[in-house]
A and B are shown apart, each in its own frame.
Chain A
Amino acid sequence: MKEYIKIGFVILGLLFISGKAFPQWEEGEINVSFSLPPVALVDIEPDVNNSIHFTILPAAESGASPQVKQITDQTLWLNYSSALANPQNTRSIVAEIAGGGLPEGVSLNVEASGHKGMGDGEFGQPAGKVVLGNQPMAIITNVGNCFTGDGEGNGHQLTFSIEVADYSKISAADETSFTILYTLSDN
């Protein structure tokens, strides 16, 4: 009998301990969700006073060719931010002459460098030297999810060069200005 009483107290103690040893708990939950949107932004740096100037001087002597003053310009940088909905897709940056035109006999070329400076992600690849015209021409291809960094020294440095394509068409003209339009678009 004493043995059974001892066993009973032991069991009682174990039950008491098991009920009190572990803290009780209850849960509540909440969903947290958000969506990163598609992004496509491109601009030229510096964003003010970013005109480039070329001057074609008349021939110094009879029979000589016109002289191009300042053949190249490397002061401008291309910056962009890109996020695509489909990771399999890419984008290109195209450039075209808008709002004006080049004088006859003259061609304007642009070549983008590889990415430089800050930024992260899948930068685009330079398409090489491109002759600018009234139709969009790709200057950077295979742009993925990325950002180049903002400002001069970041992104792709642009080298503009001017060539006399046909001397017979060169004639005296007043100052000519036009705009180059850059577009970041889906492929």
Chain B
Amino acid sequence: MIFAIGAAGQQLKIELEGSANFDNSSFSVSEAGEDFPSSIESETSFFISVLYTDDNLRRNKNPNTKWNIKVFKTDLNWHNDLTLEAIRTGNGQRIGNQGNPNIHDGEANQLITNTPTYFFQGKGEIVHIPVSFSLSGFSLTMGATAYETRVVFTVYDEW
């Protein structure tokens, strides 16, 4: 009786660097009678890196592992009228291999909901992929309030 376990372990990991801040001065009203501006962009980008969990082994054996990123949020204090979107603003850089990163999608605003939604995909290790957020739906009618949500990015081995 021979047993062999052929389960595949997690090949990829995701790292986030930077922060997603909205400039408070953007929430301003220039003229009495008006509301806030319709939308604002985050003043800083943050960066997503997709790396192998076992660097040299995977990098040499299969440098072009397919992967995709999904995104969702978990609200801590939020308003139903608020809309948060993410957009990939660059391609990042490849590790090891020269050439342009093989990365697709995510260059149009992607609505972030409480359900995981496809964002973009790529092959192999790609680091420092810039992403920024866009916020809309806020209004004076909400009052002076602080809001917070946690955005989760998940990298999947694409089979």
Contact = CB atoms under 8 A, between A and B. Distances in A.
Given A32-B133, A34-B146, A79-B32, A23 B158 contact: yes
Report the contact-size class of chain A (Cβ under 8 Å from the partner): 35 or more
Interface in A110-129: 119-122
Contacts of B29: 39, 41, 81, 147
B134 to A, nearest CB: 11
Contacts of B12: 24, 26
Interface in B100-146: 133, 135, 138-146
Contacts of B19: 30
Contacts of A155: 33
A10 B151 CA distance: 42
Interface stretch (A11-19, A57-65, A168-176): A11-19
A43 B73 CA distance: 40
Contacts of B140: 36, 39, 81-83, 121, 145-147
Given A28-B14, A39-B29, A81-B33, A33 B84 contact: no
Interface in A64-104: 79-85, 87
Interface string B1-44: 11111111111111110011010100111011111100000100
A27 B145 CA distance: 29
Contact of A34 (B24, B143, B153, B156): B24
B55 interface: no
A149 interface: yes
Contacts, number: 188
A186 B158 CA distance: 57
Contact of A12 (B2, B9, B46): B2
B147 A34 contact: yes
Contacts of A16: 4-7
B33 A85 contact: no
B19 to A, nearest CB: 7
B153 A85 contact: no
Given A18-B7, A30-B16, A5 B1 contact: yes
A169 B156 CA distance: 87
B143 A24 contact: no
Contacts of A84: 143-144
Interface of A: 4-5, 7-8, 11-12, 15-16, 18-20, 23-39, 41-43, 45, 79-85, 87, 119-122, 145-151, 154-155
